[in-house]
Chain A
Amino acid sequence: MLVSYNWLKDFLDLDGQDPYELAEEITRSGVEIPDRIHPMDGLKKLVVGHVLDCEGVEGTHLHLTHVDVGEDEPLQIVCGAPNVAAGEDVIVALHGARIAGNEKIKKGKIRGMESYGMICGLQEIGFSDSVVPEKYADGIYVFSEDAEVKPGQDIYEALGMDDYILNFDITPNRADTLGMEGAAYEVGAIIDQKPKVEEKVVLKEDGPAWTDSLDAKIDEKLAPKFYLRKLENVKIQDSPLWLQRRLWNAGIRPINNVVDVTNYVMLLTGQPMHAYDAKTFANGKFEVRLANKGEKLTLLNEKEVELDPNDIIITDGEKPVMMAGVMGGLNSEITSETTDVILESAIFDPALVRKAALRHANRTEASSRYEKGVNWDATEKAINMAALLLRNDANATVDEGILKATDQKREPVVVKTTASYINKVLGTKLSVDEIVKIFDRLCFKVDVDGDNLAVHVPNRRWDISIPADLVEEVGRLYGYDNLESTQPVLPETHGGYSEKEEMMRRMKAIVEGQGLMEAISYSLTSPEKATRYTKDPKDLVEVQSPLNSSRSAMRENLMTGLVDAASYNFARKQTQLALFEQGRTYDHEGGTFNEHEHLAALYSGNTFAENWQHLTQKVDFYFVKGQLTNLFAAIGIDLDKVVYKAEGIQGMHPTRTAGIYIDKQYVGMIGMVAHAVTLSDKALRGSELYGYEIDLDIIIPMLTKGVTAVPAPKFPAIQRDLSLLVDKPVTNQEIENVIESNAGKYLVDLKVIDVYEGSHIVAGKKSISYNLTFLNRKDTLTDDVVNNAMDKVVAALENDLAIKVR
C-alpha cells in the first residue's frame, strides 16, 4: 500500500517529523518500507500557466500559444498536444526546467517559431501511465476549476507532488494497514500519538426508504456481512482534484466520481467497495452465490471469463454481474448515463476470493485485501462514507436505510496473558505499567490484575488472538533495537554431525583431493533421464504439475546431472572435466518414498592438463577405476572384496561398463557413457565420458571404525613374476581367483604388470604378466616354500583354465 504522508496528517500531528526518519522507524517497529518517493524530486521550474491564446499552425499539428506564467509578459510557447486550448490552466516547464528523466527544457525554435518553454502532460513530469486520467493520457494536463491555481505558482502542491509516499510492503498478517486509518493507528502507536479517526459518519438520507425494493438472496457462508445502499440522481463527473490526487498518489487512476469514491473509501478504511448501475437490478432481484459451470462474465477490463463453480458471483437473479471481491462486470458498470447507483460494502470468504483472483489471473486492489481479511467493523462506516462523498460531489440523493442482507457479528477478542510471560519470552524486565503503556499506544484497553493482563483487541487488529501475538506487539513497540543481545544460557550440548554424515563428508574431501570439482544438479529431470544410468530402475517419483516435461521426475541417479553438466561445458568448449556430485536419489519402490545418498564422478579429456612435454593420457576406464579404487582404499574397504562384473546398464557403454559388488551386494557402477547418449547430444558428439556412481547408503554401513596397528614387516618379502599365455575371453578376475586360491597363505600382493594382445602372439590369445609378493611376517621365507607355491599356482592355472606359462 502506498501511504501518503500528507494524508496521514489528517490523523496525526506530524510536524517536525522527517518523513524518511519516520519511514525507518516504521520499518523497524511495524511494516517494512522499502521505497519512499517524493514525486517532486529532481523537478525544477514547473509552474501553472494560463493559456491566453492558441492558434493552429498551418500544415502542422502544432499550436502557437501565449501563456501567462505570472510574469510581466506572457510566454510564447509552441505546443504539439491536441488538447491545448485558450483559457486552460496548464503545466508549464520554463526555460531551465527539469522534467521527468532529468531532462532539461530550454527555449528554442520550433519550425522557425520561438518557444520559451513547454506545456506538459502528466507523464512528462513523472506520473506513471497507470494513474493518468484517461482524458489526459495522450495530451497535456489541464487543471480543473476546483484546483484554484494561479499562473506562476509551483504545480507541486496542486498535483500532490509535494507529498512523501511511503510504500508499506506488508506481511500478510498486517493487512490492517491496507487502509489509511489502519496505517494511522500503526504510525500513531510507533510515534506515541492517538490518531484522530472518526468512529461514525454523519449522513443525511433525503431519499425514500428503499430496502424493501430489492429481494437480496445472499449465501451467508460466502458473504457473512453484506450491506447495500441506494443513491439516486447521481451526476457522473470528474472527482474533485483533492480526491484525484489522493488516488493517484496511491497508485490508482481516477475514472469518475462514483468509481473514485469507492476506491477512495477503500483506501481510507481498507474496506473494498463496489458501485453498480442500479438499472442492473431493475427486476428487484439481487443474489450472491457460487457460479454455475458454464456461466460467463465479461469483466470491467473487457475480458470474458468462464466462471468456475468456486467463484463467488453477484447476479441480478439470473445472470452474473460481478465476480465478488475481485472485479465488476461490464454489464453493471457505472457509465456517464448512470443516474442511480447501488453501493456495496461486504465481507466475502477470503480463501474463495483469493483462489478466484488467482484462477483468473486477476489480482485487484479489492481481492488482495479480501484474501488477507478486512476490518469487520468498517462495513457500515465505509458505505456511509461513500454515500456522504457522493452526496457532496455528485449531488446524489441518499435513499433511506442500509439493506443489511447478511450481518454476522464478530465480538472483539480479549487475550489474557501476564507481564511476566511477555518479559520471559522477550528477555526484558518491563514493568506492568510500561507494558500497559505500550498497549495504550495501540489503543488497546487492558484490565490489569497484578501480573495478569486482559487485553481487549479491537476488530481492526484481527491478526491478534493469542498471548504470543501480544508479545510481538510489546516487543516491536518497545523496539527490537532495545532488546539485549544475549546467548542462550543452557546446559552444554554436544554438537556435531551424524556418523553417516561424517563419512560422507570424508568421502567428499577425498574425491575433491583427487581433483574433482563439486557440482550440484537439479533433482528434477525428465522421466527418461531419471532412470538412465540406473541398474534396475525403480518406480519413479513424479510431480503432479511440473513446470515443464524436462523437470517432472525425481532422479534415480546422479550421473544424469553430471552428463547434463558435461553437455553444458562441452558446448562452451570446456572439455577437460572432472566433476563429482554427492546428493540424493529418489524412488517410490514398494509404495514408500525412498531417498538414497549417492556419490558420482564424471571425467573427460586427459588425466593431466595438456602440456608441452606431451606427458598426459586420455582418461579411460582404468584411470577412473584407479581413482575409485583409491577412494575405496582410503575409506578402508578391503579391495579384495570389491568385484567388478561386466554389465549392461541403460545409458552406459555396453562393453565398457561394470557393476561393482562388495560382498556380493551391488553398490554401484563404473564405465563409459554410451555412444547412444553422446551421439544424440550435439555438444557431446564423439566425446568419451567415463564415470562411476556408488550408493553410500549401502557402502557406509560396511565401513568399520577405528584402527588396530600392525607393525611393519621385519622379514624380507620375495617377489616372483609370472607370464601367461591366455585365451582372449579369459578375464583377469578369473586368473587372479585361481592364483589367490592356490598361492598359499604367504601371498600378500598380486599385481598385473603387463597385458599384451597383438601380432607377436598367436591369434585368439593374449599375454598377461603378474607380479606376486610373498611374505611371512613371523619368519624368513625360503625359496623352497615360494617355489612350491608357484608350482601349485602354475599347475592350477593349467588345470583350471588351460593356461600355459610363457
Chain B
Amino acid sequence: MDLFDKLKELHEEGLNQINKAKDEKTLNDVRVELVGRKGELTKILHSMREVAPENRREVGQKVNELRDLFNAQLDEAKEKIVKAVLAKKLEDEKIDVTLPGREAHLGSKHPINIILDDLESYFIGMGYRVVQGPEIETDHYCFEMMNIPKDHPARDMQATFYIDSEDLLRTQTSGDQARVLEKHDFSKGPLKMVGPGKVYRRDDDDATHSHQFMQMEGLVVDKNITMSDLKGTLEMISKHVFGQDRETRLRPSYFPFTEPSVEMDVSCFNCDGKGCPICKYTGWIEVLGAGMVHPNVLENAGIDSTVYGGFAFGVGLDRFAILKYGIDDIRDFYTNDVRFLEQFRKEER
C-alpha cells in the first residue's frame, strides 16, 4: 500500500476514533496516537524516504492538511466532552429551590416598647430629654409634691401598693416631674422632658385592668408656655400615633397636678366617628390627659409660679398599644405568649 492509500485510510480511521472518544482521557489517547510526537502522522513523515522525490512535496502537504483537520476535530470533540461533563455535573448538583430554608430564631420588640420607642424618638426630635425615675417612690414625690392631698382617694390603701407608711410603688410617672422640677436650672434653658416607665395600681387583673402598666409623662416649663402650645403639641402626638386624618377634641377634666386640666379624644379610627362598640357609640376615643402645671406643683418644687408655667401630659402606653393594635385584653402584654409577641415584628421601626 503506498503512502497515499495509507493517508487515506488514516484519514477515515482517525476521524472515526475522534468521534468514538466519549471522555477526555480516551480523546487524549486518540490525540497522542494521531498527532502526537510518536503518532501516525509523524510515522508517515518519518517514512518519506520511501516516497519518490517528486511526490514528497504532495505527501508533506497532505500530512499537514490531515494534521490540521485532526487538530480541529480533536478540539471540537474536546469542547463537546467538557460541555457534556459540566452539564452532567450541574445536573447532579441540582437542588429543589422550593424546599424551605433553615430558620434561626427571629427576635422581636414588645408591642408596648414599639409604641414607647416611637414616641420617645418623636419627642427627642423636638428637643425633649428622656428621664427615668424610681419605681419605688415616696409618698412625698408621688403625691405630696404633685398636689394630691392627704385624704385624696388615690392615696388609699385600696388604690396604692404601700411598702410602708412613706414608701410605695408609684401609681403614676408624675413623680418624675417633681424630681426634675426641683433640679432644673432655668438659667440654662427651658425644661422639656418625657418620663416613661412602669407604674402600679392595686387593681385586680382582668381584661381592662392591670396592676402593672406603662405610662409616659411629658413636661415643658418656661416663662411663656401657653395652653395653645399644649393643644398644638397634643394634636401632633395624637395624629402621629393614630393617623394624620384623625380629628381631635379637648374636654375639660380634672387632675390634682394640673389646672386647667383636659383630656384629649381622637375621632374613632374604627368607625370614623359614626359610633361603634369600640368608641361606645360616642364617635370619640379618649387617648390622654394633660393640663397646665398646677401652681402648687411649681411652688412645691421651689419654682416661682408667677414667673414660670408650663404644661404636662400623660399617656398610657398600654392603652395606646391596645387602641393601635386592636388588643382586647391587657393581660396579653404580660403573659408573654410567643404567638402574641411575634406578630409585632413587622411594626418595628
Contacts and interface: CB of A to CB of B under 8 A. Distances in A.
Main secondary structure of the interface of B (DSSP, over half): mixed
Contacts of A615: 102
B110 A543 contact: no
Contact of A494 (B100, B127, B205, B254): B127
B227 A483 contact: yes
Interface in A386-440: 424-428
A494 to B, nearest CB: 7
Contacts of B125: 495
B249 A469 contact: no
A512 B107 CA distance: 5
Contact of B292 (A34, A471, A551, A613): A471
A472 interface: yes
A189 to B, nearest CB: 12
Contacts of B39: none
B251 A32 contact: yes
B252 interface: yes
A612 B98 CA distance: 13
Nearest to B225: A488
What is the interface residue range for chain B against chain A?
35 or more
B169 to A, nearest CB: 7
Given A574-B339, A584-B135, A586-B136, A495 B229 contact: no
Q: For A426, A495, A579, which residue has the most chain B Cβ atoms within 10 angstroms?
A: A495
B226 A611 contact: no
Contacts, number: 260
A561 B333 CA distance: 13
Interface in B126-150: 126-132, 134-136
A145 interface: no
Nearest to A352: B151
Given A484-B231, A492-B127, A541 B136 contact: yes
B247 to A, nearest CB: 11
Interface in A458-485: 466-469, 471-472, 475-476, 480-481, 483-485
A529 interface: no
B212 interface: yes
B99 to A, nearest CB: 7
Contacts of A524: 161, 169, 200, 211-212
Interface stretch (B27-35, B43-51, B258-266): B258-266
A491 B161 CA distance: 40
Contacts of B190: 488, 490-491, 493
A321 B228 CA distance: 54
A209 interface: no
B225 A520 contact: no
Contact of A29 (B112, B131, B252, B261): B252
Nearest to B295: A468
Contact of B110 (A358, A519, A554, A564): A519
Nearest to A484: B228
A194 interface: no
B101 to A, nearest CB: 8
Given A468-B294, A517-B108, A428 B260 contact: no
Interface residues on A, range: 35 or more
Contacts of A124: none
A715 interface: no
A511 B105 CA distance: 11
A524 B236 CA distance: 35
Interface stretch (B8-16, B72-80, B152-160, B173-181): B152-160
Interface in A483-505: 483-498, 501
A629 interface: no
Given A480-B250, A484-B231, A609 B167 contact: no
B206 to A, nearest CB: 12
Nearest to A519: B336
A336 interface: no
Contacts of A468: 259-260, 292, 294-295
Contacts of A481: 249-250
A469 B296 CA distance: 12
Which among B127, B260, B292 has the greatest number of chain A C-beta atoms within 10 A? B260
A628 B259 CA distance: 50
Interface string A16-54: 000000000001111110110000000000000000000
Contact of A425 (B99, B198, B235, B292): B292
Nearest to A473: B260
B336 A512 contact: no
A518 B136 CA distance: 23
Contacts of B319: none
B103 A608 contact: yes
B130 A496 contact: yes
Nearest to A605: B105
A481 B134 CA distance: 37
A87 to B, nearest CB: 43
A642 B271 CA distance: 57
A454 to B, nearest CB: 17
B105 A515 contact: yes
A293 B192 CA distance: 53
A195 to B, nearest CB: 19
B130 A490 contact: no
A578 interface: yes
B102 A611 contact: yes
A174 interface: yes
B163 A542 contact: yes
B208 interface: no
Given A31-B252, A476-B252, A595 B337 contact: no
Given A520-B333, A612-B99, A496 B157 contact: no
Interface stretch (A60-68, A258-266, A323-331, A565-573): A565-573
Interface string B273-284: 000000010100
Given A520-B334, A609-B103, A425 B226 contact: yes
B252 A424 contact: no
B124 interface: yes
Nearest to A428: B228
B97 interface: no
A615 B205 CA distance: 43
Contacts of B211: 522, 524, 547, 551
B204 interface: yes
Contacts of A496: 124, 129-130
Contacts of A737: none
Contact of A568 (B99, B102, B337): B337
Contacts of A476: 252, 260
Contacts of B200: 523-524
B198 A495 contact: no
Nearest to B262: A480
B66 interface: no
A680 interface: no
A523 B212 contact: yes
A205 to B, nearest CB: 39
Q: Which of B107, B108, B222, B342 has the most CB of A within 10 A?
A: B107
B336 A472 contact: no
Nearest to B134: A595
Contacts of B110: 518-520
Given A171-B254, A472-B260, A487-B232, A608 B102 contact: yes
A598 B305 CA distance: 39
B309 interface: yes
A542 B100 CA distance: 51
A128 interface: no
28 contacts: A171-B253, A172-B153, A172-B254, A424-B226, A467-B295, A480-B250, A480-B251, A484-B231, A493-B192, A495-B192, A498-B130, A512-B109, A515-B105, A518-B113, A520-B112, A522-B334, A524-B211, A543-B163, A547-B211, A564-B336, A565-B335, A572-B337, A574-B338, A584-B198, A586-B136, A609-B104, A612-B99, A616-B102
Given A489-B224, A495-B127, A577-B338, 5 more contacts: A427-B229, A467-B295, A480-B252, A481-B249, A497-B120
Q: Which 10 A-B pairs have the closest CB atoms?
A: A515-B105, A427-B226, A427-B228, A171-B254, A472-B260, A512-B107, A565-B336, A351-B151, A485-B232, A480-B250
